[in-house]
Every structure is written in C-alpha cells, then in structure tokens.
Amino acid sequence: MTDTEYLDEMPLPEGIRSRQIEGVNGLCMHVLEAGYSNPERPCILLLHGFPELAYSWRNILLGLSRRGYHVIAPDQRGYGRTTGWDAEYETDLRPFFMLNLVRDAIALLAAMGRDSVAVVVGHDFGSPVAAYCALVRPDIFRAVVLMSAPFSGPPPLASAVDGPDMSELLAALTPPKKHYQRYYCTRSANRDMTEPEGGLARFLRTYFHVKSGDWSGNSPFPLLAWSADELVKMPPYYIMGLDDSMPAAIDGDAPDATEAKRCEWLTGSDLAFFTGEFQRTGFQGGLNWYRCSFLADHDHELSVFAGRTINVPSCFIYGEKDWGAFQAPGALETMQNTACTDMRFIESIPGAGHWVQQEQPESVVSAIMTFLQTTEELSR
C-alpha cells in the first residue's frame, strides 16, 4: 500500500485524533484515539470487522473516553490508512492468519507504550481477533467484549471426518445457493464490490442498510443445524444465489432516497468517507481474512490451542435484529457454556442490527461500562 500523506482530512468529531504508528509488526498502523491526554488512564482497544474501519468506532471512542478511558481503534491489517500489507489476490496469506492479527494488536500496544488493556473489544471479524487476544495473552488483554460474532473456541487437533461439502449441498438446492464466505474467497469478489453496477457508494449504502436494524427483513432466530435447509432461511447477504455477486444479491433491497436520508447513524458524510477509503484500497485486504479461515494450515496453527478456554471476564453484545449472532448454529450457546469460562452477560441491543456500535453507540457504551463495572479491579 502507498503512503497516506495525500489523503483528505477525516470527518472526525472533536476529541478524536488520527495518527500513524510506525513499527507495528511490519505495518505503519493508522489509529484513531480519544482520551489520550492523560497517560495514566486505563486503556481500551477496539477492533473493527468487515467492511468497516477504525472510523466505525467514532461515537464509541468518545463515549468511552468521557468515562475516563484512553481508547484506541486501529485500521486493522488490510484496511484503511494502515500500510505495509499486500492488496493482491495472489499474495502470501500468512500475514493475515489469526495469530498474526493478534501479534498486530500486541505490537500496536507496545509501540504506544501500553503493556496491557482493561478490555479488548471486537466486532464482526474483529470479534475472533479479540477472542484470540484474550485466549493467548490474558496478561495483556485482561477482559474481552465480543460483538455480533460468537466465539466457539479453537479448532480441534484432529480434522473432522469428511462429509458432504456445504457448498455442494447449497448448490443442489432449488434455486441453487452459495454461502457468502465462500463467495468472499473468490477472485471476482473484490472487483464485484469495488466496481459494481450503480457504483460503490450505492453498494455500501445498501450493504449497511440490509444488515442493519433499519431493514424490515431482519428477524433473526436460532437455526437448528448446520444444514443447507436451515442455512437457506437466512437473508440473501448470507446465503446468496449461486451466480450472484454480493451487489447483485442485495440490490433489490436498496433503501430509497427517503430512507437513506432518514438514516441518522450513517450520514452522507459518513458514507462518503467509507466510499472514498474502499475506493482507494479495495476490499481484498479484508477478504483475505475470509480466505484464511478456509485454509488447513490456518486451522492447524490455531489447533495448538484446542481445548483452551477464554478465562478472563467476557461479555457478548449484539443487535436484536442481527443475524450474525445466529449464523453459526449453536455457536452462541457454545461460547456461553464452554468457550468462555467467565461470561458475565449477553446483551441484545433493541432495534439494532449488525452495525450495533454505529447504530446504537450510546447503548453499546452503556453495556461496555456495565461490564467494566463488574471487573473494576481490572479496569483501573
């Protein structure tokens, strides 16, 4: 990636600063931070998912800093104004392996003079990064908040017995379908989303809309099994038509001009910023995370932690209208009962969808603060 000196100023609320941190595990990492004036403040690390940015935490940064914290939100590897990663499809994927993303987080804190944080918070694909941070280095990450994507633990040491391939089962349905994560692994996905018919801004506005609480089609419920007949009950942004691109799969549910204008949590200025950033970088960096999740070598590396649990205090926050909490049948229960041994609570935010920290920032800040109050000895 190229340097960022030419970039436009970010539309940040007062009290948040943007800066580049050199020497972060081979990266020059872009971070947003608030509450930075007092180095004695306890620290909170916020990790975004796909397709978001540090900017997605803009209102959370302020909310937590006003309650006495130094809050840091990086553009993670593959995103935004962080540089030093390869955006090509043919790149070596090992830098995007989960444990290297954990290394990124540790190296960032070290570069900023922090030896630990009161809590690491991860949303969407940032949730498993936060989970592995807490699982691998509980001395640094002393509590964890997982958002929208439940963590069911590391993969087992032994590979599962071969069975029917889910891609084949979905493709055999009438009409034939495919899973969005498999689509995100294809060579065409980046171009499909960067250069869609109707433009990138329309695609992003539609993608944010259909996964939010604003879209009337979101009424999630627990699925009974990891089966094609159950998975197909999810919306088309999860289970797509076999020949669809993501823009094509969701375009019929695009918000009209009135709906878009009425959206307070994603303003025209916010959308313009996301559009400009992804127009510049593309989506391949984030898509590479999905590709890694299907690699045997990646699972093999993580399986060294098979059977290990997250033992630091934890909680889970998700939007009431977010399918993300239910897309992997049984994961929510496994996280609560097995993968996390000190799960303090699970909070469903009324009216919110997948982008819960953008849609309902005050409620998310309140939930995080409630959690931190249960871990007072760790947060100060």
Is 59 part of any domain? Answer: yes
User: Is residue 226 a part of any domain in this protein?
Assistant: yes
State the pLDDT at residue 380: 46
- pLDDT (0 to 100) of residue 7: 67
Residue 357 and residue 362: Cα distance in Å, rounded? 8
Confidence grade of residue 333 (pLDDT, cut at 50, 70, 90): very high
Q: What is the DSSP letter of 187?
A: T
pLDDT at 169 over 90: yes
pLDDT confidence tier of residue 161, bands split at 50, 70 and 90? low
- CATH number, residue 118: 3.40.50.1820
Q: Give yes or no for a cis peptide into 175 (omega within 30° of 0).
A: yes
Please indicate, yes or no, whether residues 95 and 47 belong to a single structural domain of this protein.
yes
pLDDT at 120 over 90: yes
Last residue of a domain, one of 288, 314, 346: 288
- The percentage of the chain sitting over the pLDDT mark of 90, rounded to a whole number, equals 92
Looking at the structure, tell me whether residues 210 and 226 fall in a common domain.
Answer: yes
> Bridge-partner residues for 178, per DSSP?
240
Mean per-residue pLDDT over the chain, rounded? 95
Long-range contact set of residues 192-201: C-beta below 8 Å, sequence gap at least 24: 192/245, 192/246, 192/247, 193/51, 193/245, 193/246, 193/247, 193/283, 194/278, 194/279, 194/282, 194/283, 196/245, 196/247, 197/247, 198/247, 198/251, 200/275, 200/278, 200/279, 201/271, 201/272, 201/275
| CB of 246 closer than 8 Å to CB of 240 | yes
User: Do 363 and 234 reside in the same domain of the chain?
Assistant: no
Spatial separation of the C-alpha atoms in residues 10 and 16, rounded to whole Å? 10
**CA geometry: angle 297, 300, 306, nearest 5 deg:** 160
Q: Is the pLDDT of residue 359 over 80?
A: yes
List the beta bridge partners of residue 21.
29
Query: Containing H/E element for 316?
Result: strand 314-319
Residue 5 pLDDT greater than 60, yes or no: no
Does 242 fall in a domain?
yes
Q: Are 314 and 284 in contact (CB under 8 A)?
A: no
**For range 188-206, the mean pLDDT:** 98
Task: State the pLDDT at residue 377.
Answer: 58
Residues 33 and 75 in one domain: yes
| Residue 137 placed within a domain | yes
H or E element at residue 333 = helix 331-334
The residue among 146, 154, 143 whose CA lies nearest residue 312 is 143
Look at residue 9 in the predicted model and tell me its pLDDT: 80
Same domain assignment for residues 30 and 100? yes
| Total domains in the fold of the chain | 2
Mean pLDDT of 25-53: 96
137/172 same-domain check? no
C-alpha–C-alpha distance, residues 27 and 314, integer Å: 29
pLDDT of res. 39: 83
Q: Are residues 309 and 277 in the same domain?
A: no
User: Would residue 9 count as lying in a domain?
Assistant: no
Question: How far does CA 86 lie from the centroid of its chain?
Answer: 20
Residue with tokens 């209102």: 59
User: How many helices (H) and strands (E) are present in the chain, helices listed first?
Assistant: 17, 10
> Cis omega (within 30 of 0) on the bond before 156?
no
* CA separation for the pair 57, 200 (Å, rounded): 22
Range of the domain at 21: 16-158+305-379
The pLDDT tens digits of the residues spanning 255-264 come to: 999 999 999 9
Answer for the pair 288, 78: CB distance below 8 angstroms, yes or no: yes
pLDDT at 1: 44
Do β-strands 177-179 and 239-241 pair in parallel, antiparallel, or remain unpaired? antiparallel
Judge if 208 and 313 occupy the same domain.
no
Q: Which residues contact 33 (CB under 8 A, 6 or more apart)?
A: 16, 17, 19, 61, 70, 71, 72, 73
**What average pLDDT does range 214-241 have in this prediction?**
97
Q: Strand pairing of 119-123 and 239-241? A: unpaired
Q: Examine residue 209 and state whether it is found in any structural domain, yes or no.
A: yes
Based on the domain organization, do 265 and 342 belong to the same domain? no
- Average pLDDT value for residue range 344-361: 98
CA count, 13 A, side-chain hemisphere, 140: 20
Q: Determine contact, residues 31/18, Cβ cutoff 8 Å.
A: yes
pLDDT interval class at 124 (50, 70, 90) = very high
Q: Which two tokens stand for residue 287?
A: 């898509």
Cα separation, 1 vs 105, in Å, equals: 19
Strand runs (DSSP E) across 91-158, as ranges?
A: 119-123, 144-147
Residue 287 has pLDDT above 70, yes or no: yes
Quick one: 56 and 39 in the same domain?
yes
